[in-house]
């Protein structure tokens, strides 16, 4: 008798979730028609975007603007949205600190309390509203990921706590969800159960998780039809390849004498791609349906030397219309989209139900600042990717409203009740 959709491959401390297989059914209601769930993803980039090369000039996506051009192959699954604003990203009497507010407001729509002490206050973020309702269907209610670490103490922006610049995910108004930046730790969270017998030993020995579940994989393979058997083999090969890349990166990092040194700039693209491949696997195996990801902390001054650029990101965002700096910030903005397009490639390559994994995702990509030189929080750069819940993508949508209108609309499409989320005033965006 075939196992349920909830099943995993098990071994000594390993727990490898299965991908979608036609022979199996989704878990919540075995009697219900087979229908893949909607996955939600939220992706933030710091310091705004050069809007002149981001905003489509018409409703058509036949030729995307230069910054969005790397995602052109997925135009049918994209929806750039212009006209959205975060009114609580503005100072509203609190003075400077736009980079703390850009991240604090991004998924909450809340005015953050200006403090560098422990009395922080923000709002509940959209991803955590979703996790509280649909997270019960998965092993991990949500995943909070990023590239730059950061603590929750101290002053990181004009009197604002580092908790605001380091996090976009908030479980409660006073409890940020710390992000994980280490691909190996994320992999182990997805595939290794340290509480199971042998789990800690498996982690310590760095044995491949696939070696640990090989016997169970062979048993399952014998129960499947030819198509599902090939799909399972391809999936296990992809897990092994990703595990190898992660271990190679960990070995390279271990060779650095001072582990406190920041990651080498040239490692940034591979770091992001590893995290995105892990997100794709987490969605594919239904380990989670809710993910947030930060390309950088609020006000990040990361170097992009691997692009041949001089100066840090935050520094370059204050370009004062200097054509050299404008060209550099454009290049950074496009580079981020190139990396995001890698995730779209991975999701589009996974068959699921009557389409692909990308067809069952809703991914919001953007920034809580519009023009990094002006620090404005209106007409924000927001892109919705994926066609989950039959969203009418493949078009440029203009909407004079608030980002929380979009967040409420996304939540509703994923089956999450969120009337009046943030400052949306009960007007979810019709997607």
The single residue listed with the structure tokens 């959205």 is 84
Question: What are the residue ranges spanned by the domains of the chain?
Answer: 32-183+266-413
Cα–Cα distance for residue pair 137/158, rounded to 1 Å: 41
Q: What is the pTM of this model?
A: 0.92
The answer to whether residues 418 and 124 touch, using CB atoms and an 8 Å cutoff, is no
DSSP annotation string for 104-140? HHHTT--PPP--SSS-------HHHHHHHHHGGGSSS
pLDDT of the residue at 387: 95
Query: How confident is the model at residue 205, as a pLDDT?
Result: 53
DSSP 87: G
Q: Which pLDDT value is given to residue 6?
A: 40
Q: How far is CA 120 from CA 102, 175, 292, 369, in A?
A: 16, 8, 21, 21
- pLDDT for position 18: 80
Q: Report the DSSP beta bridge partners of residue 44.
A: 294, 366
Which residue is it, tokens 């993803």? 41
Task: Note the pLDDT of residue 24.
Answer: 60
The pLDDT value given to residue 193: 67
179 touches 292 (CB < 8 A): yes
Phi, psi of 13 (to 5 degrees): 80, 0
pLDDT, residue 225, reads 78
Which parts of the chain register pLDDT below 50?
Answer: 1-6, 27-28, 197, 199, 259-261
- The separation between CA 117 and the C-alpha centre of its own chain, rounded to angstroms, equals 28
Distance, CA of 45 to CA of 102 (rounded, Å): 10
- Which element (helix H / strand E) includes 272? helix 268-284
Helix 226-254 crosses helix 268-284 at what angle (to 10 degrees)? 150
- CA-wise closest residue to 82 among 63, 56, 118: 56
- Output the DSSP codes for 277-300: HHHHHHHHTTS-SEEEEESS-TT-
Classify 32-183+266-413 by CATH class: alpha beta
Backbone phi, psi, residue 37, to 5°: -80, 165
Which tokens hold the place of 152?
Answer: 């929750």
């Amino acid at each position: 008798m075939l196992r349920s959709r909830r099943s995993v491959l098990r071994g000594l401390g390993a727990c490898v979730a299965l991908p979608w297989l036609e022979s199996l059914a989704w878990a919540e209601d075995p009697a219900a028609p087979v229908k893949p769930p909607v996955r939600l993803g939220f992706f933030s980039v710091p310091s705004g975007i050069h809007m002149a090369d981001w905003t489509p000039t018409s409703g058509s996506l036949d030729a995307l603007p230069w910054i969005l051009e790397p995602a052109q192959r997925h135009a049918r699954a994209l929806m750039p949205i212009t006209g959205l604003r975060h009114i609580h990203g503005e100072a509203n009497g609190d003075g400077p600190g736009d980079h703390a507010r850009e991240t604090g407001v991004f998924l909450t729509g809340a005015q953050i309390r200006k403090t560098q002490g422990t009395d922080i206050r923000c709002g509940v973020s959209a991803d955590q509203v979703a996790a509280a309702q649909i997270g019960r269907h998965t092993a991990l209610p949500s995943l909070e990921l990023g590239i730059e670490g950061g603590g929750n103490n101290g002053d990181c922006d004009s009197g604002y706590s580092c908790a605001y610049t380091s996090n976009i995910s908030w479980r409660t108004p006073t409890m940020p969800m710390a992000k994980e930046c280490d691909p190996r730790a994320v992999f182990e969270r997805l595939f290794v159960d340290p509480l199971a017998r042998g789990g800690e030993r498996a982690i310590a020995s760095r044995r491949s998780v696939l070696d640990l579940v090989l016997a169970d994989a062979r048993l399952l393979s014998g129960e499947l039809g030819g198509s599902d058997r090939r799909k399972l083999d391809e999936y296990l090969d992809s897990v092994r390849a990703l595990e190898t890349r992660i271990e190679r990166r960990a070995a390279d990092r271990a060779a650095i004498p001072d582990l406190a040194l920041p990651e080498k700039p040239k490692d940034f693209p591979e770091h992001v791609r590893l995290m995105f491949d892990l997100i794709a696997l987490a969605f594919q195996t239904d380990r989670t349906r809710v993910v947030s990801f930060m390309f950088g902390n609020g006000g990040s001054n990361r170097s992009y030397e691997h692009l041949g650029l001089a100066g840090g990101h935050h520094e370059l965002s204050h370009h004062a219309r200097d054509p050299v700096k404008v060209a550099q910030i454009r290049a950074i903005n496009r580079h981020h989209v190139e990396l995001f397009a890698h995730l779209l490639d991975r999701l589009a390559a996974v068959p699921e139900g009557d389409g692909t994994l990308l067809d069952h995702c809703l991914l919001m990509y953007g920034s809580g600042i519009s023009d990094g030189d002006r620090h404005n929080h209106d007409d924000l750069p927001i892109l919705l990717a994926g066609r989950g819940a039959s969203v009418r993508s493949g078009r440029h949508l203009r909407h004079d409203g608030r980002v929380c209108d979009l967040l409420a609309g996304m939540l509703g499409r994923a089956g999450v009740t969120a009337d009046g989320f943030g400052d949306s005033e009960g007007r979810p965006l019709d997607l």
